[in-house]
Amino acid sequence: MSKKQFFLALLASSCLGGLVVLIGMNVMTDGQMGINNNAGLSSTVTTSFNKIDESPKDYIVPEGINFIKASRAAVPAVVHITNTSKPSSGSRSWSKLLGRRGRVRQSTGSGVIISPDGYIATNYHVVEDADELEVRLDDNRRIEAELIGVDEDTDLALIKIKAAGDLDFVEFGDSDQVEIGEWVLAVGNPFDLNNTVTAGIVSAKARNINLISGQRNQYGIESFIQTDAVVNRGNSGGALVNLDGGLIGINTAIATNTGTFSGYSFAVPSILVKKVMDDLLEFGEVKRGLLGVQIMDADGRGTTELSGVLIRGVSPGGAADKAGIKDNDVIVGIDERPIRTTSELQEFVARKRPGDEILVQFKRDGLKKEANLTLKEKIELITRDPEEIKFTYKVEGATFAGLSDRLKYALRVEGGVQLLELGDGAWKKAGLKENFVITKVGDRDITDLEQFQSLLDSKKRDFYVMGKYPEGEKEYFKIDW
């Protein structure tokens, strides 16, 4: 065959192949034209095959990432909580001043059934200011709930429902045994979506994000389990469980600039949750022992120690003071358990009750020491000994005294006066209660009782006073003189 014949044969073959392809494409387009047009009329796209494979699953999920067992254990025990708050008839809100009618406020969150007879753990901020609490179970039953008690220091609350038969509940796991990198599940009701399950890993432990503690609550305790399991509005109060389905935390907060999940969520560890729930059930309040110290992380600043808890102040007469602990000591252990951060120390002490004895390991000038101390109750740090009150000032039915060093330390104030006894008069009418500490009159700081008396003797008209209660709650009042 000549070269000319070869090229002619090759050209004919190419043309024939192209013709076959064009005919095939035309046939396929004609056959699919109706489907494309119909799809354009719909905003949804099906992802199903025409034939469903109903054969049994023949694959095995590896044990380390099998979330099915934990989901089956947790989902039936996680509830949806609706908090209804009604406007008070005596409210002096802006809406009422402007002539608007008060509105009923509703918010929602999650909770975890922790006993077959209907006790439910949740967050304090889920039930805060509630006039009515309704719980929706996983089977859609709706039941009114009773508030048993709250603990603002940990943002936890205990509520109770009455339902027929034993309820599904989640058993407590050991949050101390949780390890960074471990798989966990978050179960709750984000955006009111009933019982949603998300998975993630533990990113950190004993995390402090200044959500509860700080200026708002000097006794606030934060030692969160941090995870990257997706948590959003409505998840608060829900369960964080391990792969065995054990409760290892109550989901409480997210780190976000937008109000929605941005990568990290935070849960109160289960050992602390259980202690708070036990106290609320037994006493109606939390019994918490205190060291009586001001603290900060020992990270090389102000001390040569690179970890532990640096003592920055010791309350006179407090547990630490009586045990001989001093400023600049560094706590490195409690009961032989290593302590590296303030969050770890606060959580461990928060598990104890007043009167409990603990062994504190600390360093002083590089030398390791030990001391046994007995934890004290908060009220012991702020209670006045009548023998230490030498002078008082009575005006308009109220009796005032100067501040003790212990009270100054506890409230972190430099001066002021305390309302000891309250009778009829301008102070009672203004709404003050006994033990309130006045730190300002108008724009003048109060240093002591003598200055306070002199200042009030010169008052000829109404004025404002500012200060705080021993528990740390700040208030101000207008005194009609």
Q: What is the pLDDT of residues 112-171, one digit of tens each?
A: 999 999 999 999 999 999 999 999 999 999 999 999 999 999 999 999 999 988 999 999
Domain ranges for the chain: 64-286, 289-380, 383-479
Please tell me the distance from the alpha carbon of residue 459 to that of residue 443, in angstroms, as a whole number: 13
> Looking at 110, 125, 175, 315, which residue is catalytic?
125
Q: Which of 163-172, 289-298, 404-413 has the lowest mean pLDDT?
A: 404-413
Most confident of 20-24, 35-39, 366-370: 366-370
Percentage of the chain exceeding pLDDT 70: 81
> Looking at 151, 153, 155, 297, which residue is catalytic?
155
pLDDT over 90 (residue 357): yes
- How is domain 289-380 classified at the architecture level of CATH? Roll (2.30)
Q: What is the pLDDT of residue 30?
A: 41
**Pair of tokens at residue 195:** 């019982």
Q: What is the pLDDT of residue 167?
A: 96
> Looking at 236, 265, 270, 343, which residue is catalytic?
236
Q: What is the pLDDT of residue 124?
A: 96
pLDDT over 60 (residue 242): yes
| Active-site residue, 30 included | no
Fold match between domain 64-286 and domain 289-380: no
pLDDT over 90 (residue 413): no
| Active-site residue, 236 included | yes
Rounded mean pLDDT, 449-456: 93
pLDDT over 90 (residue 415): yes
Q: Which residue has the higher pLDDT, 383 or 272?
A: 272
- How is domain 64-286 classified at the architecture level of CATH? Beta Barrel (2.40)
Rounded mean pLDDT, 406-432: 89
The domain 383-479 is placed in CATH, from the list 2.30.42.10, 3.40.190.10, 3.30.450.20, 3.40.50.800, at 2.30.42.10
pLDDT over 50 (residue 376): yes
Please tell me the distance from the alpha carbon of residue 461 to that of residue 395, in angstroms, as a whole number: 15
The DSSP code sequence of 338-407 is E--SHHHHHHHHHTS-TT-EEEEEEEETTEEEEEEEE-EEHHHHHPPPGGG---EEEETTEEEEEPPHHH
| Active-site residue, 155 included | yes
Q: What is the model's pTM?
A: 0.73
308-352 pLDDT, tens per residue? Answer: 999 998 888 889 999 999 999 999 999 999 999 999 999 999 999
